Chains A and B, each alone.
Chain A
């Protein structure tokens, strides 16, 4: 299997504060990679560096085969991104947001129309097609956000706490969507606080104070830490944290 993300000693400092401290890891094509950590552990910072939204202080990184320093526009063509904070245009409708971002990614108008129909049907958003995004409930908004992030069929999609503030049923449904996308060959890179969600991932990494303290499949992590579930694994690592 080939790798789609590789980092080597990737570091980001803000003044004296080291948000991400020499992290090295690989993400394989087609896998669901969980990126875990407490608040302030550096997950979002690391993710923003991989997406080309933030330039690293030092270290190396390749995303979809492109260098994160020099080829950020090539990276951006090949990834999707769903921000922690809802960031679609609220005064556009669901379909209009899709048209806008499809256009930005260079999809043809014909392609956009057929894809919009397809995605809306798949995610059961047909009724919301022409609804202004601002009048949607949070759970649906997250769904639309996700739909837009994979609209241009990227190689990798980065999801930053996609299920934050959403009820358990909607969360469960959201993960079904993630699996659907993964089945199509899209690599999923997802951060989360919910340890039950960590169990859904092929592999997870756990960040503490800007460093990756553990990285393996959920089953192996549980064995290594002699824990019954991911929550116990997380607790035993997160207690060491100074930043949170």
Chain B
């Protein structure tokens, strides 16, 4: 069951639906600095889909903003844009897309393409040029990191995260409370076992099960979807290890508070749904209202979703994921300390 159900999930869920995007971060390189280029940029920004986050002097500089995750899309307007447009009635702009988040990138590129086409027609109308000669500005999208713009490439790592979360969170939440129900906890409580050893004994099996499951998941991702982390696969394991500690700890906290398995199950599922929805797994965190984005800071799932996508598609290194790793270790210490404190051997 523990192995079978997650495998089924991994095979089905990646084919699920897509979503609308807002707040796409846009970087602009304007090599022309003419009236037309400014008009085009104004039009793009006023569409409501984009946020102008960077205005760089060169393509290399702009590319850095993609690497830092400050920009999702880069629009490059070449020098002599206006000149070519007016004289030759033909010119190019270039779009670079950070496709780590496939849906965001794809829709962003599509929106931008539409806006440019519209801009195109307006300008032509202004100029009184005949309408049969449209298609003057050609957009050339170039996707970075997820070149095929495959939605599944983006979902599969996320679903791996989900599986580990279910193992760590739900199974552990049921664990101590089950011992309370069948009475074995009484036999343990009457022994001199230190509380931290008891919690540790609960933690270790779930970490092992989780890592075995991760291995199976990675194997399926490679076999079925042809996906393999662009970065170091050991980094995935490293993060998963601390992540399992954190989430198992959270489950154990629930378990120490609950008196029945139903109670534990309900509580675990309640938090799990919130954590999933606020993780960026289905809807990007950057598309959420600001206050919700603040809430996601307290969601351990969010960090793993971020990290696993970075490692899978961008090939990020250890130094790139240090903030997330720090956060998840913090969660681990917090939840497990809480579980140890709240586990009471004496009623």
A interface, CB within 8 angstroms of B: 48, 51-55, 72-74, 76-77, 79, 81, 83, 85-90, 101, 104-106, 148
Contact = CB atoms under 8 A, between A and B. Distances in A.
A188 to B, nearest CB: 16
A55 B193 CA distance: 18
Nearest to A81: B190
A52 B190 contact: yes
A74 B193 CA distance: 11
B186 to A, nearest CB: 5
A105 B191 contact: yes
A73 B184 contact: no
A17 to B, nearest CB: 15
B319 interface: no
B192 interface: yes
A80 to B, nearest CB: 8
Contact of A87 (B187, B345, B346, B347): B187
Interface string B166-201: 000000000000000011111111111100000000
A234 B136 CA distance: 106
B346 A105 contact: no
Given A83-B183, A86-B183, A90-B182, A104 B188 contact: yes
Interface string B314-347: 0000000000000000000000000000000111
B186 A83 contact: yes
Given A72-B346, A73-B192, A104-B193, 4 more contacts: A76-B191, A79-B190, A83-B187, A90-B182
Q: List the 10 closest pairs (A to B, CB-CB), nearest first.
A: A87-B183, A81-B190, A76-B192, A87-B187, A77-B192, A85-B183, A104-B191, A54-B347, A73-B192, A104-B193
B192 A53 contact: no
Contacts of B186: 53, 81, 83, 85, 87
Choose among B182, B185, B192 the residue with the greatest number of A CB atoms under 10 Å from its CB: B192
Given A87-B184, A88-B184, A55 B346 contact: yes
A88 B184 CA distance: 6
B182 A52 contact: no
Contacts of A51: 190
Nearest to B198: A104
Contacts of A55: 346-347
15 contacts: A51-B190, A53-B345, A53-B346, A72-B345, A73-B192, A74-B192, A76-B190, A76-B191, A76-B192, A81-B190, A86-B183, A87-B183, A87-B184, A87-B185, A104-B191
Nearest to B187: A87
Contacts of B188: 104
Question: Chain A binding site: helix, strand, loop or mixed by DSSP?
Answer: loop
A201 B216 CA distance: 60
Contact of A53 (B182, B184, B190, B193): B190
Nearest to B194: A73
A101 B345 CA distance: 16
B160 to A, nearest CB: 29
B184 A101 contact: no
Contacts of A53: 186, 189-190, 345-347
Contacts of B192: 73-74, 76-77, 104-106
Interface string B17-44: 0000000000000000000000000000
B183 A52 contact: no
Contacts of A89: 184
Contacts of B346: 52-55, 72
Nearest to A73: B192
B209 to A, nearest CB: 16
A243 B244 CA distance: 49
Contacts of B189: 53
Contacts of A73: 192
Contacts of B190: 51-53, 76, 79, 81, 83
Contacts of B182: 87, 90
Contacts of A85: 183, 186
Contact of B187 (A48, A54, A81): A81
A149 B347 CA distance: 21
A165 to B, nearest CB: 15
Contacts of B185: 87
A51 to B, nearest CB: 5
A206 to B, nearest CB: 25
Contacts of A101: 187, 191
Contacts of A74: 192
B187 A52 contact: no
B324 to A, nearest CB: 37
Contacts of A105: 191-192
Contacts of A83: 183, 186-187, 190
Nearest to A148: B187
Contacts of A148: 187
